[in-house]
Amino acid sequence: MTRLSFASYPHLLGFEQLDQLVERTAKAGSDGYPPYNIELIGEHCYRITLAVAGFAEADLAITVEDGQLFIRGQQRDDPKREYLHRGIAARQFTRSFVLAEYVEVEGASLESGLLHIDLVRRRPEPVVQTIRIATPS
């Protein structure tokens, strides 16, 4: 069976990276931890909220790498504590989201065990370009 890709359509020039984008999104992970919501909070504004109870601000890292948003959490065990029962594990995670072109992280906040990451889509200025036709001399 032949696999169709965006690059196989002759009228879609320069869209080869869409195949890579689809593959990257599929690999983003299906692990359900930590749970999250994605909200539309304005015409071009989004909010990702992750439930990160037990994580301090110092345990969390938010980065954007090559158009992909990564949220990483790593709790550190306190070696001085002695547990009689341990039902709450110190668990690390990485959650990623592929960002569309012109989507930027506006900011992040942590309150009541919820990490909020605000995103905004900036509108690019429209570009009209006239191409001159060269004539051989």
Tens of pLDDT, residue by residue over 68-124, are: 999 999 988 788 988 899 887 778 999 999 998 899 999 999 999 999 999 999 988
Long-range CB contacts (within 8 A, 24+) of 21-27: 21/98, 24/68, 24/98, 25/98
The model's pTM: 0.74
Instruction: In whole angstroms, give the CA distance from residue 99 to residue 63.
Output: 12
Between residues 104 and 4, the one the model is more confident about: 104
AA letter at 8: S
Nearest CA among 63, 116, 65, 59 for reference residue 93:
59
Residue 14 — left, alpha, or beta (φ > 0 → left; ψ -120 to 50 → alpha)?
left
CB atoms within 10 A of CB 115: 22
Tens of pLDDT, residue by residue over 8-56, are: 677 666 767 777 767 766 666 557 889 999 999 999 999 999 999 989 9
